Amino acid sequence: MNKRQALLIGLAAVTMPFGRDAGAQPKKAQGTGTEAALRDTIVQFEKAWNRHDVNACLALMTEDVWFTQAIDYYGRMKGKAAVKAVFEYDVKNTDLRWEVKGVRMMPDGTASVVLRQVGLIPPKTDGKYKREDVSEPSFSRWRVAGGKWQLFFFTSHKGWALDEMKKDGMQ
């Protein structure tokens, strides 16, 4: 074997581990606390609701979640158990559309999201729902817990949503 062949074989042996993956670099990992990951979680929540999967919706909420629709019922909807008791029927019998209108990543690592919520009431005839209930704005807060974004506050009450938006500099 001449010097040139030995050099080429040696060079190939050294560079082969790098060359194999050079053309197939992994996609940039999406960080847990990013806005993109949050938006994905919001889509997951909407899909879970529209599958009428109560447990999947609850899995995207913190244990101490405060979830309200239009009125607060004096805190009766604080915590997953209360949310399940109050909203299980809604999840099982309605569809939901959440349109993100604004996101603000907060200095404490949480995120505030302004939504346009549309409650879709079946039955669906000719591609249209029997009724569509629009709540705009609706407001939600999210935090990373257990390595994923989770909902810890939601209201569709317009006045309350506007107050929270103002607090978070989103108005």
Give the domain ranges of the chain: 32-167
Environment class of 81 (CB within 10 Å of its CB; exposed 0-12, middle 13-18, buried 19+): exposed
pLDDT band at 12 (very low <50, low <70, confident <90, very high): very low
pLDDT for 155 beyond 70: yes
Please report which confidence band the pLDDT of residue 31 belongs to, taking 50, 70 and 90 as the band edges: confident
Q: Tally the C-alpha atoms within 13 A of residue 74's C-alpha that lie toward its C-beta.
A: 0
Please give the pLDDT value at position 72.
61
- Rounded Cα–Cα distance for residues 87 and 90 (Å): 5
CA dihedral 107, 45, 68, 157 (to 10 degrees): 80
- Say yes or no to pLDDT of 6 above 50: no
SS3 157: coil
Instruction: Quote the radius of gyration of the chain (alpha carbons, Å).
Output: 24
Q: Specify the fold of 32-167.
A: Nuclear Transport Factor 2; Chain: A, (3.10.450)
pLDDT of residue 50 exceeding 50, the answer is yes
